[in-house]
Structure 1
């Protein structure tokens, strides 16, 4: 995959990149298939294996928390103490920020609404109301598509 990305950056050749991506996806699916089969159907997961998987997930979530903490730390450091390379002002010169009370606020409302509709779908499914569950899932998918459309427009405007 790394070699494929390098070829793609320099030569615009995607064959190696697609092959590497295909291999990674196949490895993921087969690994997850084996884990599900071993734990669910064969019952081979001992207490130590289950504990190791839980610890692996905890470490993964911890690494994600550290990544986002570092990301926001860098953002706040740059915005609260801008250095001279960017003109000692925030945002830097010639960068025009979007109004946070327009599309970003609408996107936040859409994300919250989709969380409500997917919870509604889950509760409807648990109560055996399949028609209502399907309707709320369709609404969730429509909200997701609308969110993606607004994000694409926002990225186009910002670039």
Structure 2
């Protein structure tokens, strides 16, 4: 039975953390076994991912029911906001690591391999034919010749799509705060659609990269950083679109009020974060 201590809501015991723990263990452990060509790895990973999905639906469902029951007050709301802020900060650090790898490779590793500074001996003895040019696929063209993706085609279009989605979700948020339900649902749906179109264009771009430009994960440091950065961003867009879809369903059911809708705000924060990361990607991966 739920209890309260003072003014702060203390939830009852839940089995979802242990379900999530087993799900993570199965997903990561199974993936490791699969990569090492152990036959049972793939089904174990599938079961682990399934447990994680069940845990997400069950745990978030419990939180939604508690919120609708009126258990949460201002203190709980502050806790949720602080938690979301720290979560987004962890995501910032996640992408900072990949941007840092890209910066280090371009600014230090490539010039050193080309003979600049401390890399003179390395270049002379190991890779005397290496040209310190970016993008690179490694000494002696280890990754094979490839072409880069032009920033003024699909990447520019995707930039416009995400910037537009930032506008539509802001309009939806304003509609929620002013009580315009129809406008809220329309612009929130538009945000989901823009995100889905973005992902469709990214899939098409990947197909073009592999089939026509020979740009793959094996195309040296450029190929690996390109697909790691854009791929993880695409994963975040996918998760954001799923969360926005859930928010649309909750809005349609009337779960939120003008003054009590932090779940919507949290997803909006996340979506704006995804937009900002893409601007960095477009500039440092595609343009420069």
Q: TM-score, normalised by structure 2?
A: 0.45
Which residue pairs with 1:78 in the alignment? 105
Match of 1:89 in 2: 133
Unaligned runs of 5+ in 2: 1-26, 114-126, 138-144, 211-288
Matches within 5 A, 1:25-36: 25-36=53-64
* Displacement of 1:35: 3.8
Q: Which residue number in structure 1 is paired with residue 262 of structure 2?
A: none
**Which aligned pairs between 1:35-54 and structure 2 lie closer than 5 A?**
35-38=63-66, 41=69, 43=71
Deviation at residue 20 of structure 1 after TM alignment: 0.9
Q: Which has the higher mean CA deviation after the structures are superposed, 4-13 or 109-118? A: 4-13
* 2:150 counterpart SS class: coil
- Aligned residue in 2 for 1:6: 32
Q: What secondary structure sits across from 1:80 in the alignment?
A: helix
Q: Is the 8 A contact 1:39 1:45 kept in 2?
A: no
**Structure with more of its chain in helix, by fraction:** 1
Which one is further off, 58-67 or 144-153? 58-67
Alpha carbons of structure 1 residues 56 and 147: separation in structure 2 relative to 1, 3 Å: closer
Tell me if the contact between 1:121 and 1:136 (Cα under 8 Å) persists in the aligned partners: yes
- Name the CA distance, whole Å, in 1 between partners of 2:43 and 2:91: 31
1:63 aligns with 2:90: yes
CA gap 1:68/1:45 in 2 versus in 1, 3 angstroms:
same
| Structure 2 SS opposite 1:90 | coil
SS in structure 1 opposite 2:149? coil
Structure 2: how far apart are the matches of 1:139 and 1:53?
27
Is the counterpart of residue 140 in structure 1 residue 191 in structure 2? Answer: yes
TM-score, normalized by length of structure 1? Answer: 0.73
Cα shift at 1:67: 2.0
Q: Distance in 2 between matches of 1:19 and 1:135?
A: 36
- Measure, in 1, the Cα distance between the counterparts of 2:95 and 2:181: 39
CA distance in 1, matches of 2:97, 2:30: 29
Aligned residues: 157
Segments of structure 1 that go 5 or more residues without pairing to the other structure are none
Q: Distance in 2 between the 1:136 and 1:16 partners?
A: 40
